[in-house]
Chains A and B, each alone.
Chain A
């Protein structure tokens, strides 16, 4: 997921990243207020299908496994604290467990789509379309540029440490915390400082920030897929809200 730089060509991949982000923002607010089983089921089902369109079932499985593990640990602590505090475990009905689980799952489905179908490149192209100020998209360009370099740097640093018979692991961190932190931080910072110096010189020389119109070449505009997703989302949200209200009234 992280550092991925391939983009698929399915329907979901053609949806603009901004559409996905807007959808995710709307849902993140909405989901907090929903607390009825029926409405949450609707959103869960819809978001599950939405994520399923990625066709990354193995990744989805891992995602859900992670959520389950987190919930299990949380339950364990909840049980433990309940025991300590009141002498008995947390006695909750099934539904009080289900609501948080559904909320987390809906958000995971939605954000999973962003993570697996978006490259930083496509994000930047979309941001260009919005004509966002250069101070927002320029750092993102720098990030894309540096992530592979830094991964390489980290490899070199690890090799250099190995050559000097120094290793950083759980044990050394416990025994020599200060030395470990130093070994992790100092060379990385030196590389970052040097790289940012050189790149900003190149930026000055090329006049990248002076240009007001960096966005012409590859800007991406909304497409049919964005409207399809948008309209479907509105319908599902309406249905969800109806379910929530229907139960309230």
Chain B
């Protein structure tokens, strides 16, 4: 009865789905309770989302986890919020390169590798967003100032989130909650 083993095990796929749902809900709730546009809510939203993503990477240590998360998240965002259609291909590319960087630099057990890979993804994703903004607003480039400010605020939260995510991952591993 030896079937060919699939690349993704069920618990890995379920984890990716669960975390995608959790990240979406927490971002949504922080946005609505925090008033959406204030800097604190923007930082917090990104911080929590990235922290949860780091925990996912610590749990599912397999090449492609970041890319698959990005793909699933893009589909979900598109259907639920009607957003992110144009950014999706670029986000996916950034995710693939992020995954690749992590593997190249020592794998998902290596803290520095995860930090750099995820850092790359988040940075590339935001640059892509701004690039897209540029394409949309190139006739009146001054309109981009506001986008740059909001993206930068979000980015700050996101970079902080990588570190808080690592902190909580270690804590949960210590408590025996994270598998492996």
Contact = CB atoms under 8 A, between A and B. Distances in A.
A29 B132 CA distance: 10
Nearest to A184: B48
A120 interface: yes
Contacts of B3: 210
**Interface size grouping (class) on chain B:** 35 or more
11 contacts: A100-B143, A104-B136, A108-B82, A111-B78, A139-B17, A142-B13, A143-B72, A147-B21, A147-B25, A173-B40, A185-B51
Nearest to A149: B21
A151 interface: yes
Interface string A11-28: 000000100010011001
Nearest to A190: B177
Interface of A: 1-4, 17, 21, 24-25, 28-29, 31-32, 35, 70-71, 73-82, 90, 92, 95-97, 99-100, 103-104, 107-108, 110-116, 118, 120, 123, 134-136, 138-143, 146-147, 150-151, 154, 170, 173-174, 180-182, 184-186, 188-190, 192-193, 195-197, 199-201, 203-204, 208-210
Secondary structure dominating the interface of A: helix
B52 interface: yes
Of B47, B139, B142, B178, chain A has the most CB atoms within 10 Å of the CB of B142
A78 B80 contact: no
Given A199-B14, A200-B14, 10 more contacts: A1-B82, A4-B80, A81-B142, A107-B85, A120-B76, A120-B79, A142-B21, A143-B76, A189-B172, A203-B13
A138 B142 contact: no
Contacts of A32: 135-136
A192 B34 contact: no
A116 B164 contact: no
A174 B40 contact: yes
B81 A2 contact: yes
Contacts of B55: 189
B8 A115 contact: no
B79 A17 contact: yes
A154 B85 contact: no
Interface of B: 3, 6-11, 13-22, 24-26, 28-30, 34, 38, 40, 44, 47-48, 51-52, 55, 59, 68, 71-72, 75-76, 78-83, 85-86, 135-137, 139-140, 142-147, 149, 164, 168, 172, 177-179
A3 B11 CA distance: 24
B72 A139 contact: yes
Contacts, number: 208
Nearest to B133: A100
Contacts of A142: 13-14, 16-18, 21
A154 B142 contact: no
A78 B7 CA distance: 50
A140 B75 contact: yes
Given A92-B140, A140-B17, A209 B78 contact: no
Contacts of A1: 80-82
Given A74-B147, A115-B80, A143 B164 contact: no
Contacts of B24: 143, 147
